[in-house]
């Protein structure tokens, strides 16, 4: 009844060389294809020749395998190997902390105590605070995207606000979202969930690990 992660000693990474076509079509097809969680690995690579001297490499990864911070770490290694191959020299990867160390630490966290704490802290709240928008399925779109470009002056002011209050830009954004929820819902207490990295204060070397190290 509970999902588990199985770590294999070795798996073969599938690499496909599809026929020509626009890279955008390949990306869409890869997204639609999805993954079967019971068939490892949850990673695929497709190499498309888009021009005589140009290739597009599409790497599709299930989110259960990697978090956002892991992706640039992985790409840096790929680019380093590519540069080494072009130069005809071998590459030695620096030792990277093992994800198993984080998994072992996480399995020892007292989940019961954490659940009891938050159950008490949120006892007076009936659920997440919602914006008074149209419900999905009633003929109106209940979500959308709005792009806002901030000036350099506004960005600097936000950075200063974050620094002066001992937080981060991410904290400022969350505070702004809380004000929006409170204003439009008419509530003085609001609650919403966020996905965040839980690398800090876990195990040594967690910042350099590749894997899924997030919590909600």
More confident residue, 18 or 1: 18
- pLDDT tens string 33-70: 989 988 899 999 999 988 888 889 999 999 888 998 89
pLDDT at 181: 92
Q: Please give the helix or strand (H or E) that residue 122 lies within, else none.
A: none
Q: How confident is the model at residue 164 (pLDDT cuts 50, 70, 90)?
A: very high
Rounded-to-integer distance, Cα 62 and Cα 68, Å = 12
CA-nearest of 13, 11, 2, 44 to 26 is 44
Residue listed under structure tokens 């995207």: 145
Q: How far apart are the first and last CA of the chain?
A: 20
Q: Please give the helix or strand (H or E) that residue 138 lies within, else none.
A: none
Q: Are 213 and 207 in contact (CB under 8 A)?
A: no
Name every residue whose Cβ is closer than 8 Å to that of residue 98 and which is 6 or more positions away in sequence: 209
């Amino acid at each position: 009844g509970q999902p588990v992660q199985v770590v294999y000693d070795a798996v073969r990474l599938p690499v496909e060389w599809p026929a020509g076509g626009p890279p955008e079509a390949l990306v869409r097809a890869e997204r639609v294809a999805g993954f079967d969680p019971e068939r490892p690995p949850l990673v695929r690579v497709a190499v498309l020749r888009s021009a005589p001297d140009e290739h597009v490499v599409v790497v599709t990864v299930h989110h259960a395998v990697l978090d956002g911070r892991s992706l640039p770490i992985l790409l840096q290694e790929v680019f380093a190997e590519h540069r080494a191959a072009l130069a005809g020299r071998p590459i030695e990867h620096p030792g990277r902390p093992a994800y198993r160390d984080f998994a072992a630490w996480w399995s020892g966290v007292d989940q019961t105590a954490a659940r009891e704490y938050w159950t008490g802290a949120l006892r007076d709240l009936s659920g997440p605070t919602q914006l008074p928008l149209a419900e999905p399925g009633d003929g109106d779109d209940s979500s959308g995207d709005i792009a806002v470009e901030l000036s350099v002056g506004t960005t600097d002011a936000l950075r200063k606000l974050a620094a002066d209050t001992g937080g981060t830009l991410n904290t400022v954004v969350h505070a702004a979202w809380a004000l929006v929820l409170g204003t439009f819902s008419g509530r003085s207490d609001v609650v919403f969930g966020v996905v965040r990295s839980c690398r800090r204060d876990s195990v040594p070397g967690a910042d350099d690990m590749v894997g899924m190290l997030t919590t909600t």
